[in-house]
Amino acid sequence: MAQDAKPEVLVIDDGSSDGTSDFVERAFPTVKVHRNMQSVGLIVARNRAAQMARGSILISLDDDAVFSTPTVVSQTLADIEGPRIGAVAIPHLDVNRSEGAHALRAPKNEEVWVTAVFRGTAYAIRRAVFIDLNGFREDFLHQGEEADFCLRMLGAGWWCRVGRADEIHHFESPHRDVTRMEVNGSKNELLHVWSNVPWPWAAPYMAVYAAKRIAYGLRVGRPVNQLRGIWRGLVAIARDPGTRRPVSQRTRRLDRRLRRAGMLALDSKGQLEDR
């Protein structure tokens, strides 16, 4: 409500029972509150919010994140104005981490810097692009939806720009559900590869991802979480094998290049510069 850009504000109550919605409606009567009587998860909730929004740009915050200044939205709107910029990864700070982890921030100059993926608690996206690409994959339920969407967006010819705005402050809870995160993470990595990697590369890539997940589980002492996630991913693929929409090899090469570099500048023609 304090943002100088005066955005439309939507609050999605995903099945809470603590009176939050009633409080928001009383305290902020101009805010549009949508209540899900039962929780549908953050991915479905964000997709529904995109359908309800009236503006051309969507900016999403989780319930554990805040804008650090009143100008974050207006600064971000300026960043998304460039040609073929489909989304902006807004800079953010994980306040509760001991090292104070910062996200990428682009230099404040005339160059446009792009990256492979935004984070779900700090991004802006063109609503038309989001709708055209059918939003986030709802069968992911939780975890990993950003990378999947950004790869599809890159395949459709849109860049994810590295933002220059003031930071979003993310107050990550110390009591996160690690089991849910790891199970869904393993499942969704398999679904991501199955859906987006061309044949015949999908099968070996899935095997490599599964092996890495199991190795990680053994290293941290939670291999069962990884095995459960892998099994759920294979079951989901078997139930609906027609979900594959592979991106091109060129798109995958661009994605790998961006991931290796972190961020890269575009030239005057909107192509990645060779540096």
pLDDT for 43-52, tens place per residue?
A: 999 999 999 9
- 205 within some domain: yes
Q: What is the pLDDT of residue 100?
A: 60
pTM for the model: 0.91
One domain for residues 56 and 87:
yes
- 132 within some domain: yes
pLDDT for 17-42, tens place per residue?
A: 999 899 999 999 999 999 998 989 88
Question: Please, are residues 80 and 126 in contact by the beta-carbon 8 Å criterion?
Answer: yes
Tell me which of 149, 170, 191 is where a domain ends.
170
Q: Is the pLDDT of residue 108 over 80?
A: no
- 202 within some domain: yes
One domain for residues 190 and 64:
no
Average pLDDT, the chain: 91
pLDDT for 257-269, tens place per residue?
A: 999 999 999 988 7
Q: What is the pLDDT of residue 154?
A: 97
pLDDT for 228-255, tens place per residue?
A: 999 999 999 998 877 788 999 999 999 9
One domain for residues 88 and 35:
yes
One domain for residues 130 and 228:
no
Q: How far apart are the first and last CA of the chain?
A: 42
Q: How many domains does the chain have?
A: 2
Edge-to-edge, what's the strand order for the sheet holding 85-89? 57-60, 123-126, 85-89, 159-162, 113-115, 264-265
pLDDT for 74-107, tens place per residue?
A: 999 999 998 899 999 999 999 987 666 777 889 8
- 111 within some domain: yes
- Alpha carbons 61 and 11: distance in angstroms, whole number: 10
One domain for residues 200 and 137:
no
One domain for residues 154 and 203:
no
Count the neighbouring beta carbons within 10 Å of the beta carbon of residue 218: 11
- 275 within some domain: no
- Here the tokens at position 243 are 């979900």
One domain for residues 135 and 231:
no
- 211 within some domain: yes
- Alpha carbons 36 and 269: distance in angstroms, whole number: 45
The residue segments making up the domain with residue 189 are: 178-243
One domain for residues 163 and 119:
yes
Question: Please, are residues 249 and 198 in contact by the beta-carbon 8 Å criterion?
Answer: yes
Q: What is the pLDDT of residue 274?
A: 61
The kind and range of the H/E element at 42 are: helix 42-52
- 265 within some domain: no
One domain for residues 51 and 166:
yes
Tell me which of 150, 170, 190 is where a domain ends.
170
pLDDT for 121-138, tens place per residue?
A: 999 999 999 999 999 999
- 59 within some domain: yes
Who contacts 85 (Cβ-Cβ below 8 Å, separation ≥6)?
Answer: 79, 112, 126, 158, 159, 161
One domain for residues 88 and 196:
no
pLDDT for 153-210, tens place per residue?
A: 999 999 999 999 999 999 987 777 889 899 999 999 999 999 999 888 889 999 999 9
Where would I find the H helices in 63-124? 72-79
One domain for residues 115 and 70:
yes
The CATH number of residue 76's host domain is 3.90.550.10
Q: What is the pLDDT of residue 275?
A: 53
One domain for residues 185 and 88:
no
